[in-house]
Structure 1
Amino acid sequence: MEMKNILIICSAISLFSSCGSESQNKHLTYQNIVILSDLSSRIDNKPSKDTDEIHKIVQYFKNECVKPGEKIGDKSSICFSSFSEKTIAAIDIGNIKNLGEKQQFINSTGKFQNNGLTYQIDDFEQKVKNAYSNIRNKGLDLISILTEKIENEPIVKESFYLTDGIDTTFVKYDNHIYIFTDGYLEYLNKNANSQFYFGSSEIEKVRQFCRTNNLDITTALEKNHSFNLPITKSKKNQFVNLHVFETHERDRNEKNLNYSHPKGERDNEVLAAVWRKWAVESGFKSFEWRKY
């Protein structure tokens, strides 16, 4: 065989081999949903809407994340706890490694017919309702507890990758922490440690500072650092989308449907600005404050 033909054949074999071993990278994203409820006297002040809102989050997890009958191999998770307890209810699809068993669980078929996702969803929501019926906390340092949970409990999932030397799968988690509270940071041991205490008295100080200096709330917080919560940096914060869901406004008269203070000075607006500034400076991926 002529040298020219040998070179052509070798080149063809080399090209074929390189095409056959070309890496195939996959990027997969799953949801990790964490629900933390402030089960204080706030939920006795007016009919609680928390469980209805939590039901919406649970249905989102089921229908938009896991998608029974549509999606294969999901790794999403959801958990619920109060600030005073560790995990009360949890569903983690990623814990089931075998794909066949995973799909049986998701679709509530086979050996999971009576203990699959459908049953687990109902059980999850029942545990939420039981917690709301039976747990009451007189006052907790929510920021300190949240920081502790993020840092020391396995509630935040970090992205990772899997490779066989050729193909690589990049697995990303969108972490969402939903806090159900009225936003007031009031707790019992203020005299021992007041750094994260922010209640009615602190709100009034911000309000008066705004009036005296003709400032809006955001500008007041920038100018007077004594109003700000201490920054709590953690490398895990960058992976967390923080949502604060607020339902009870103390300065709102439910009977007359009016407020004790004009727009721009209301409790809810001060609290939202204080929480947001703390979340941004503490390095959270995103922050949402929602009245509902």
Structure 2
Amino acid sequence: MKKILILCSAIVLLNSCSTEPKIKHLTYQNIVILSDLSSRIDNKPSKDINEILKIIDFFKNECVKPGEKIGDRSSIIFSSFSDKVIATIDIDKIKKLEDKQQFINSSGKFQSNGLNYQINDFVLKVNNSYANIRNKGLDLISVLIEKIENEPIVKKDSSLTNGIDTTYINFDNHIYIFTDGYLEYFNKNSNNQFYFGISEIDKVRQYSKINNVDIQTALNTNQSLSLTPIKNKKNQFINLHILETHERDKNDLLQTYKYPIGQRDNEILEAVWRKWAKESGFKSFEWKKY
């Protein structure tokens, strides 16, 4: 009996001395900016660049935090719909912690080509793209689906194990699309799957009026008025943001609208995009008018 008690005491003592496994959860941001560089930005003064600068500032001062944060793994990408990546900053590609911190703080061997330099170069490439690229009549949703599926713009979560300790690396994927929300392209006659322009908007408006229902009810009742959802395993990891800059049915001079509240182009487009994003399985959806 005495031996049993001694053995039990030894087991308790050993358990009390053992190290508890540590589990950490770290979250980083993966920001993707896609700009619809069509004639829309020539029709009215463009507000896109100022909004993009706000996103870049958020990336630097809220995600990376030079001088404050250690070991960040966030990234930011800019592209038009017709191009692959035009500008990118990916902190995660720098593996050594010392090099990473020197890059983030623009110090040591990265004094002249660190984060500050990369951000200035990023902004320059954004400005050049807006000045020189014009794509008319692109099928934006088809291109978006293609980019999500085939380009490395979505980051997956991972984990690292060191002995008994585990660190879970999570990424918040955000895709910001700068557009006016209209989905108009040249080959509508051969493929109208994602075409949604003035005619399609008016069909929703008329159905809503005739049946005396709001826009959301109209879309839920008559599926032919909506966009075709496209499910992708990667969609569940993406927070989709549509940043709408121009309302075609608004008179900026008089500050009046062609249609009453509840029937305006912008409201219909938002409802159509929101329904499509939800049915396509995106993690979240934001429609921002500014």
| TM-score category, normalised to shorter length | over 0.9
For 1:265-276, list aligned pairs within 5 A. 265-276=263-274
For 1:27-66, list aligned pairs within 5 A. 27-66=25-64
Q: Residue type matched to 2:25 in 1?
A: H
Which residue in 2 is equivalent to 1:7?
7
Query: Aligned equivalents of 2:223 and 2:237: distance in 1?
Result: 27
Equivalent position to 2:239, from 233, 238, 241: 241
Does 2:118 align with 1:117? no
- Give percent identity, aligned residues only: 68
How far did 1:87 drift?
0.1
Q: Residue type matched to 1:7 in 2?
A: L
Which residue in 2 is equivalent to 1:97?
95
The SS at the match of 1:205 is: helix
Deviations 1:147-189 (A, max 9, x none): 1111111101111111134110000000000000000000011
The SS at the match of 1:115 is: coil
Which residue in 2 is equivalent to 1:170?
168
How far did 1:272 drift?
0.4
Query: Aligned equivalents of 2:152 and 2:233: distance in 1?
Result: 14
The SS at the match of 2:195 is: coil
Which residue in 2 is equivalent to 1:252?
250
Count of matched residue positions in the alignment of Structure 1 and Structure 2? 289
Which residue in 2 is equivalent to 1:73?
71
For 1:217-232, list aligned pairs within 5 A. 217-232=215-230
Which residue in 2 is equivalent to 1:146?
144
Query: Aligned equivalents of 1:109 and 1:164: distance in 2?
Result: 29
How far did 1:260 drift?
0.8
Deviations 1:6-26 (A, max 9, x none): 537733652244x23x21111
How far did 1:191 drift?
1.0
Which residue in 2 is equivalent to 1:286?
284
How far did 1:226 drift?
0.7
Alignment CA distance shift 1:4-1:285 (3 Å):
closer
How far did 1:246 drift?
0.4
Deviations 1:39-64 (A, max 9, x none): 00000111000000000000000000
Q: Residue type matched to 1:286 in 2?
A: S
Superposed CA RMSD in Å reads 1.3
Contact between 1:37 and 1:82, CA under 8 Å: does it hold in 2? yes
Which residue in 2 is equivalent to 1:85?
83
- Segments of 5+ residues of structure 1 without an aligned counterpart are none
Which residue in 2 is equivalent to 1:184?
182
How far did 1:130 drift?
0.3
Which residue in 2 is equivalent to 1:107?
105
TM-score, scaled to structure 2: 0.97
Contact between 1:45 and 1:248, CA under 8 Å: does it hold in 2? no
Alignment CA distance shift 1:14-1:256 (3 Å):
same
